[in-house]
Amino acid sequence: KLAKDAPLDEIISKYSKPPKIKSMKEIHNKNDSFMIQPFEYDQNVPDTKPKPINYGSPYTDRCDGLHLVMPCSPTYMSVDHKPLWPHIYGLIAHLKEKCDKGDANYGDLKATIDACSGVPRNMDSLNKLVTELYSDNHFKQFMSTTLSKMCELVLYLDKIWTQPPPLLPRKTNCSVTMSQRQAACLLACSFFCLFQPRNHSKGYENYQHVNFDGLFEAGPSTKIEKLRCILHYFHRITEKMPTGVITFQRFVLEKKDFPQWPSINEPLSDLYLTTDKRIEDIPNTLQVDFANEYIGGGVLGGGCVQEEIRFVICPEMLVSLLLCERMEKNECIYLIGCERFSSYKGYANTFQFDSDYRDQTPKDHWGRKWCHLVAMDAVYFNDPPIQYHPKEIERELLKAYTSFLPQSADEDSYFAIATGNWGCGAFNGDRQLKAIIQLMAASAARRPIIYAAFGDKKLVASFAYIYEELKTHQVKVADLFYMLREYNGQRKRPSVFKYLLERMKSIEIETTNF
């Protein structure tokens, strides 16, 4: 019995209407921060620019450990205790002047980045990209136009941002909403390596590295391709600044709401399988990011698998690295509204920037593209057999359930989940086990699932088969939970799907005996 690819468009339109959201003005929760003035997006006037909150008033710093330390913060000091912003401002303004005159070369860029942080850096990957791989015209265009405008974004930092955004620390339900321009401004600061290095900062032990220096360093060709995507983003947004809005939202599932798997008698959700569509190409769904507990994983270093690729083709997602502390097992992070700018080919060590991508996703009434990504981190199994232990299965179930839970009780919050081989690449998971875990979590959350198997036709066929059998036998979430427990107890384990099939056959025999 071979599964056919599902007619995805039909499925998506059946399940996925954009969820209703309150107007910005109706939200009065101190944990939901708006870095722009509340406004209502009108698709007839798509170029209306969101304004920063307190627009026009001077920058107010918040140096309380709860907000991002901005490069323009008066508390951001050099080792000899001098404020760094005037120094940085001068260097970036000087570089911009050179760019505008058409005089700037790669050496000027490197000297500026080194001088801003006072640390000379290896920037061989960036050097190779702009001086060797770019054509002469591309190089000129980058140096005299894109780079100049990136400098401008930094120089306007304390106007584009009138106060720093709050951090999204562990154990708090909180969100930050900002304009795409504000995101671009932060990313320009990361490009010039202007953020305080976090490895030496107290209180930031559980945050990601945020400057782009790791990407600039010598390394595999995939690093250069990731940089190519990011510079393509800067090219696009400096040519025409997008006017949309994005949200980063951290969700914590309270202990009292943890699912009690043995008593979840939900039937299995609808399931659709596809071999050739990728998650990012399945619109109007909750798309899963196969994340690291430190969001973004190795995106600013050598990593180049699902999460890292997603973040470089949609670079606004990189802002989450600045804001989000490491995720706990009962937490996930939503990235809402981020735009896609690049297409790619290859994967992992064959990854390459392919071409420009025009993202036509419609917007909600906050001005956010109707694109919901959820970052959920699986466990890395150094010793794969451990993953069948009930404790590990419960951890993965909890993470998937936390991430799949609809954000409101409205019917339209139950839109489909687009996922795939979560935890089964870099993290060594068993595809069959993880497929069942995700099916259980989606069923407990009462949402349909679209499973993008990334070319694995065998998995699609066997998953479709086992799913039909499970449905025929009216297997519920709790039944699967018990079956997985028993599976772990088997002395000689067949594959997970095979075991489930055997169990269902034995149920048939048991029931026909009565």
List residues with catalytic annotation. 289, 307-308
Tell me if 182 sits within 8 A of 163, measured CB to CB.
no
* β-strand pairing of 174-179 with 32-34: parallel
Count of residues that bind ligand AR6 according to CB under 6 A: 24
Binds ligand AR6 by CB under 6 A, chosen from 109, 129, 154, 378: 378
Nearest-10 Cα torsion for 339, 342, 348, 350: 180
Our finding on whether 279 is near ligand AR6 (CB under 6 A) is: yes
Sole binder of ligand AR6 in the list 165, 244, 303, 367 (CB under 6 A) = 303
Which 3 state secondary structure label does DSSP give 194? coil
Among 34, 290, 463, 497, binds ligand AR6 (CB under 6 A): 290
Q: Does 278 bind ligand AR6 (CB under 6 A)?
A: yes
Which one of 100-108, 296-304, 435-443, 503-511 is the stretch in contact with ligand AR6 (CB under 6 A)?
296-304
State which of residues 401, 427, 451, 481 lies at the interface with ligand AR6 (CB under 6 A).
427
Amino acid at 130: V
Give least dist CB 433 to ligand AR6, A.
Answer: 13
Q: Which x/- pattern over 445-474 shows residues binding ligand AR6 (rule: CB under 6 A)?
A: -------x-x--------------------
- Contact pick of 19, 164, 423, 448 for ligand AR6 (by CB under 6 A): 423
Q: How far apart are CB 400 and ligand AR6 at their closest, in Å? A: 12
One-letter amino acid at 363 equals K
CA 317 and chain centroid, separation:
5
Residue 381, token pair as written in the block: 């199994």
Task: Tell me: does residue 222 bind ligand AR6 (CB under 6 A).
Answer: no
Span of 193-201, 225-233, 416-424, 482-490 interacting with ligand AR6 by CB under 6 A: 416-424
Helix axes 431-444, 496-513, angle to 10 degrees: 60
Distance CA 196, CA 193 (A): 8
Integer Cα distance of 135 and 141 in angstroms: 10
Quick count: other Cβ atoms within 10 Å of Cβ 459? 22
Cα 490 from Cα 452, distance rounded (Å): 30
DSSP designation for 446: T
Asked if 229 is part of the footprint of ligand AR6 (rule: CB under 6 A), the reply reads no
Nearer to ligand AR6, 382 or 511 (CB): 382
Per-residue contact track with ligand AR6, 73 to 102, x per CB under 6 A? ------------------------------
Does 280 bind ligand AR6 (CB under 6 A)? Our answer is yes
Looking at residue 374, its amino acid is: V
Angle made by CA atoms 415, 419, 425, in degrees to the nearest 5: 165
Count the neighbouring beta carbons within 10 Å of the beta carbon of residue 143. Answer: 22
At closest approach, how far in Å is the CB of 379 from ligand AR6?
9
Interface residues with ligand AR6 (CB under 6 A)?
Answer: 278-280, 290-292, 297-298, 303, 305-308, 378, 420-427, 452, 454
